[in-house]
Amino acid sequence: MSNPLSEPGTATLDRHLAEAAERYGTPAYVYATDVITARLAHLRAHLGRWFSISFAVKSNPNPALLGWMRDQVDQLDVSSGGEFALGRQTGWQPGLISFTGPAKREAELRAAISGGVGELVLESLREARLADAIAAELGRVQPVMIRLAPARVPKGFGDQMAGRPSPFGIDVENAPTELPQIATLPNLRIIGLHIYSGTQSLKSEAICENWRIFMQVFSEICVSLDLRPEKLIFGSGLGIPYHPGESKLDLAAIAAGVGPDLDAFLADPRFADTRLVLELGRYLVGPAGWFLARVVSVKQSRGSRIAICDGGLNANLAASGNFGMVLRRNYVIHRVGGDEGGTRPDEPQDISGPLCTSIDKLGSRVLLPRLDEGDLIAIHGCGAYGPTASPLYFISHPLPAEVLLTGEQLCDATPDRGR
């Protein structure tokens, strides 16, 4: 996946980032579609033999990006009625959209079912009964998938959605009593099963073990329901390196490790016509995004040099370490323009945002060329869980711009959020 946009501080990358900041202001996010294209190609080269690809909108619901995604991935997964509406507004056919989420409301279910959503992913018996009643009113039979929560998730995932008390899906222990009840509902048609039990793993062996658990659960449930599924969704769990020193996930090792298991699984006549779907978001778009912030002020404070920027946790909660990070660690950060031919030697610096709170910190003791007022910094790995995962309106600073970079072309992709 060699790409001049993938390495910190390259001349090509810095030229695009500097132009984006000049044209659209800061703070800003820049999303490079060429990087996503390369990551998709890499993913399909290693795993496309077994899987089609579904993009999880929650990772980055930027409308311009979703519109571009129509020609890139096979399916869209939404997690709210609002995301379903957004998918439709950006040109996605409803039949290519699946709808997950543990607390779907009646109005959301009605809008999705009446709107022709491809698959409703049921997460509870309560939800199934409500969806059945709505489908009956509308005179429809709604295709559904059932989300399952395995009893175990291997070590090596940044977050776990199963293997312990969880709001997500039906616990496999309860499946023998609850799934047959869902199967009797006349206005629902079970077309498959769904598992997403762990996320943000950089360990290929953990991914392989997790998918083996999926296949075991899928096999047991399909036998118990006498189900020949049209589709099975594998929550990918594929992680990305955020912090200095972390290694990229080895897709070749995953293919080699779990490929024979997938082949054996699909050789079962029950799954002869089954489509396997890899649901993921962060893995595709995370490394394709940069967060840009301009240094507004610099101060020396008790032996530390602090660069205070125009965007902080209000615009990028994840990079501040307040989005599920147990121990705060710096993201990869570089100064746009580098060290200017060695005239700016590296030194440790703290990087803060503009907010009146001590937790508004983007970097601690970051080794960078000396930052001065007006300098531009770029934080890497910010293509997922950016603006919409951040408290944008906290303290009422300007909202971040969003910019789409396709080839050499930059375009304003900022949604209307009352800017």
Q: What is the pLDDT of residue 163?
A: 65
Q: What is the pLDDT of residue 75?
A: 97
pLDDT-based confidence at 49, cuts 50/70/90? very high
Q: Which residues are catalytic?
A: 356
Q: How many CB atoms lie within 10 A of CB 76?
A: 27
pLDDT, average across residues 153-167: 81
* 14-37 per-position pLDDT tens digit: 999 999 999 999 999 999 999 999
Residue 194 tokens read as: 């769904």
Q: What is the pLDDT of residue 417?
A: 61
Q: What is the pLDDT of residue 40?
A: 98
Q: Is residue 401 predicted with pLDDT exceeding 80?
A: yes
Q: Is residue 416 predicted with pLDDT exceeding 90?
A: no
* 375-387 per-position pLDDT tens digit: 999 999 999 999 9
pLDDT-based confidence at 198, cuts 50/70/90? confident
| pTM for the predicted model, two decimal places | 0.94
Q: What is the pLDDT of residue 419?
A: 45
Domains of the chain by range and CATH?
Answer: 93-280 (3.20.20.10), 287-412 (2.40.37.10)
* CA 340/CA 253 separation, integer angstroms: 40
The fraction of the chain above a pLDDT of 90, given in percent, is: 87
* 308-336 per-position pLDDT tens digit: 999 999 999 999 998 876 568 999 999 99
